[in-house]
Each structure stands twice: as C-alpha cells, then as structure tokens.
Structure 1
Amino acid sequence: MTENPTTPSAASTSIRVRPGGHVARLRESAAQDWDAAVDHRFVQELFAGTVEDEVLRGYLVQDYQFFDTFLSMLGGCVAHADQVPAKLRFARQLGMLAADEDGYFQRTFDELGVPKSDRTDPELTDTTAAFRQAMSEATASQSYPHLLVLLVIAEWLYLDWGEREVKMPRRYVHTEWIELHRGQDFRAWVQFLVDELERVFPQDPAAQDRLTQVWCHVVGLELSFFEVAYA
C-alpha cells in the first residue's frame, strides 16, 4: 500500500544530540507525547492545506498570546546566559521575531478576519494559560538552564514537524507558518539551543529531576495545544 504523501509519519530530527547526554535523556523522557505532537492531525492538515480556517484562526489567536512571554524568555537569556556570544545570539533572535514572526501573525489575522479584540485580549484556553504560566515561571526563575528547557521544546518540536519532506500547500497562511519553522537558519538556531542546554545542564541530581519534570509537563502542553485547536 502506498503511503499518502501528505500524511507522513513523525519526522526524524536533524538536530545532533550527544548520545546518552542530558538532552537525549530529556527527549526520551517524553517521547510519546513529543512524537504524537509532531505527527498530529493539525500538522498533517497544515501541510495538506486542508486545515479549516476556523481551526487555524483559533490556533493562531492562542499562539499569539505567547508572543510577549516568549520575548521575555529570550530577554531572560540575554540577562542570564553565562557567555557573551550566547547573549548576542539571543539578542539577534529577538530582532528576528519582531520582524518576521509578528509580521506573519498580523497578515494572517487580516486574511482570516480576526478582530482586534481577539488579537490582543482573547479568552485563553486552559492549555494556553498553563503554557504561559510555565513560560513566566521560567523567566522568573532567572535560571539559564530552566529558560533553555522551555526554548528547546518550543523550537525543536516545531522544527521536527516543519522539516518533513512533502509537497507544500499553496496558501500563504499555511506555507509561511511552515517556513518559519524550517530551513538552515532555524535549524542552526535550534542546534544552538540544544548545545547550550547540554553545556549548562546542572550536575545536581535534584535540579536535574526538577528540569525533567518541567520538560515532561511542557511537552504535554505542546500536544494539548494541538488537541485544543479542534475542541
């Protein structure tokens, strides 16, 4: 039986991790939820260009509510990273988000007819509220490893589904969201985050356990975020 090319199995990551290292163990600790998110119905329909506008609109409205907290996490990394080159890398990423990702949201909101009130102050789903809380806690922790755990999940998981080799959909609202989460520059950004997390992961077993719990919780939220889009 020939597999439908628009519904591939979960993508294999292009990111290099140290075998048996901290990041590899984190990835394995929530592998089931991670793979389910990467191969979710939403991702399949996004690539096929068949995701309904109502579903996409609700998903993006909720996703946009992470924009300020995500910027705060990047700012936290500028403040708390232990090396100047890393601080500069995070500062550059802040500029990219303002220019590229926010522009996509505004153009897509216009095309999908999202009113201003839903862009700036929508009713949050429980998953969105929990996700924002997790991001805010990472920023408040002033802990570089804690911040990196959230960033690695948010970016690596999306790279995993964004890199699948299938025919791209035609509409801008679909293709541009995919393009923002794939390609050489985004891959290099994710590799940087993974390498940094491996480098600064704490040696204290209790701290490792806490970050593993955060990892599993947030990966579960990523899966739930896709599920809620169809609720």
Structure 2
Amino acid sequence: MTTGPWTTEFGEEGGLFRRLREGCAAEWRAYTWHPFVRGLSDGTLPLAAFRRYLVQDYLFLIHFARAEALAVFKAESLEAMQEKTEAIRAILAETRLHLGYCAAWGIAEGEVRATPESAETVSYTRYVIDRGLAGDILDLEVALAPCTVGYGEVALRILADPGRRREGNPYQSWIDTYADPAYQALARGAAARIDRLGGTHGGESRFASLRATFAEAARLEARFWQQGLDAVAGTAA
C-alpha cells in the first residue's frame, strides 16, 4: 500500500480506527484512491460523472442525517447525544448548501429532488442504518466512519498527489471543502471517537465483526464513486 502524509492523520497509533483501516487496507485504498478520486485530482473526471455523484450525494446526506439521529438514540452519554444533535443540524444545513452547489453545476433544485435514489445509494445508506439498528453505538459509528474520515483522507491523498492539477481544476472547490482545516478536524474527531468507543464498548473482543462492517462500508463507498463512471460509460455505449 502506498504510504504518505495522510497515514498519520487519523486516530491514535494502536487505536481501533487505525486497526480497522489497516485490517481493511485493500478495501480502503480501493475507496480512497478510486479512479473517480484520481479524476478529481487531475481534473479529468467527466463532468457528467460528477453531476451524477452530486445528485446522489444530496440524497445520501438525507439518510446520513437519519443515521446520526439514530446515533442520538444509541448514544452512550448526554454529552454524546448533544454532539450528535449538533451533527444533525450541520448535515441538514449542508443539504441546503449542497442544492446551491448543484445549481452552480447546472442542476436545478427540482431536478435534484425529483431524482430517485440509485441502487448504490440505497444499498449504502440502508446498510449503515441497519448496522445501527442491529448493534450498538460502536457498530453504527464504525459504519459511518468510512464516510466521515474517508473524505478527509481523500482530500489529503489528492493534495499529496504529484499528478494533481493545481491550475484550472474544475473540481478544486470540492477538494478545498474536504481539505479545509474545519473538515479535517471533524474527520480526526470521528476517528478519535472510534478509538474511545473501542475502549469503552469492548472493541477488542468484537474486532472481527467491526472490521467486517468497516470493510463493507468502504466497499459501498467505492461503489458510490463508481456509479458516476458507470453512468458515463452507459451513455457512451
């Protein structure tokens, strides 16, 4: 696996998050350095693939907020409940911003709202919610972590990419969003939360099950990228 400055950004050495990431190295790399991501980095991603992703990402956010609402119910403390409530507010605010971002890419709000969820969106979001319903807060947070932490790592991978297009990259604003220090702090906080919950909720004895959840979420993230490329390929065919 290629190493880089991102490898020390998230989670504590020997902590649960890094163990999960290392235990699913192939799935994690396939997700965080997917051809879609490389296209964002060098600016070659077809615009139609990005537009497809943008619309489905809006629909994903709605269910991500629902998963965080479930995390309020499953939370281990009042402080965690408050933290998750703030996360829901932030995600709902992000949905409004996302519609504006879609508009900037020529996708009207009515079109976004009228688009049905893809199979990839359904399979990923329902998997996360199912893990939360079937398990405890640690199961749910492990299912959520590839999204929250993974996007932070994707941004760092792009910044470290020697082939990155630095001038005139149409996806620079997307890269900037996740490379921003505020988002990087959010990603580090999510990894740290996994480490804390691993200590309080028996993460060591449950590692095999948690690794399976983490790996599946990473695979579903990769499929979420892939749907944009598949849509373009299907149109070309």
Query: Letter of the aligned partner of 2:178 in structure 1?
Result: H
2:72 equivalent to 1:78: yes
CA–CA separation in structure 2 for the residues paired with 1:149 and 1:130: 17
CA–CA separation in structure 2 for the residues paired with 1:102 and 1:175: 20
Query: What is residue 67 of structure 1 aligned with on the other side?
Result: 61
Query: What per-residue deviation string (whole Å, max 9, x for no partner) do you get for residues 192-213 of structure 1?
Result: 2212212222427774332221
Query: Letter of the aligned partner of 2:225 in structure 1?
Result: F
Distance 1:16 1:156, change over 3 A: closer
For structure 2, the 5+ residue unaligned runs are 231-237
Please report how far the alpha carbon of residue 55 of structure 1 lies from its aligned counterpart in structure 2 after TM superposition.
0.8
Distance 1:9 1:211, change over 3 A: closer
**Equivalent position to 2:31, from 16, 29, 37:** 37
CA–CA separation in structure 1 for the residues paired with 2:97 and 2:219: 26
Query: What is residue 24 of structure 1 aligned with on the other side?
Result: 18
Moved more, 81-90 or 147-156: 81-90
Distance 1:206 1:120, change over 3 A: farther
Distance 1:10 1:53, change over 3 A: farther
Please report how far the alpha carbon of residue 153 of structure 1 lies from its aligned counterpart in structure 2 after TM superposition.
0.9
2:171 equivalent to 1:174: yes
CA–CA separation in structure 1 for the residues paired with 2:165 and 2:192: 31
2:134 equivalent to 1:141: yes
CA–CA separation in structure 1 for the residues paired with 2:27 and 2:221: 8
SS of 2:213's partner is helix
Distance 1:41 1:136, change over 3 A: same
Moved more, 123-132 or 28-37: 123-132
For structure 1, the 5+ residue unaligned runs are 1-7
Query: What is residue 219 of structure 1 aligned with on the other side?
Result: 218
Query: What per-residue deviation string (whole Å, max 9, x for no partner) do you get for residues 42-66 of structure 1?
Result: 2222233332221111111122221
2:99 and 2:109 in contact (8 A); partners too: no
CA–CA separation in structure 1 for the residues paired with 2:89 and 2:104: 24
2:129 and 2:140 in contact (8 A); partners too: no
Query: What is residue 3 of structure 1 aligned with on the other side?
Result: none
CA–CA separation in structure 2 for the residues paired with 1:160 and 1:25: 16
Query: What is residue 235 of structure 2 aligned with on the other side?
Result: none
Query: What is residue 203 of structure 1 aligned with on the other side?
Result: 202
CA–CA separation in structure 1 for the residues paired with 2:134 and 2:45: 37
Moved more, 53-62 or 125-134: 125-134
**Equivalent position to 1:130, from 123, 126, 129:** 123
Moved more, 64-73 or 107-116: 107-116
Query: What is residue 189 of structure 2 aligned with on the other side?
Result: 192
2:9 and 2:188 in contact (8 A); partners too: yes
CA–CA separation in structure 2 for the residues paired with 1:118 and 1:9: 41
Please report how far the alpha carbon of residue 10 of structure 1 lies from its aligned counterpart in structure 2 after TM superposition.
7.0
**Equivalent position to 1:54, from 48, 56, 61:** 48
CA–CA separation in structure 1 for the residues paired with 2:106 and 2:13: 47
Distance 1:117 1:73, change over 3 A: same
How big is the alpha-carbon RMSD for the aligned residues of Structure 1 and Structure 2? 2.8
User: TM-score with structure 2 length normalisation?
Assistant: 0.79
Query: Letter of the aligned partner of 1:184 in structure 2?
Result: P
Distance 1:66 1:90, change over 3 A: same
2:109 equivalent to 1:107: no
SS of 1:158's partner is helix
Moved more, 179-188 or 145-154: 179-188
Count of residues in correspondence between the two structures = 222
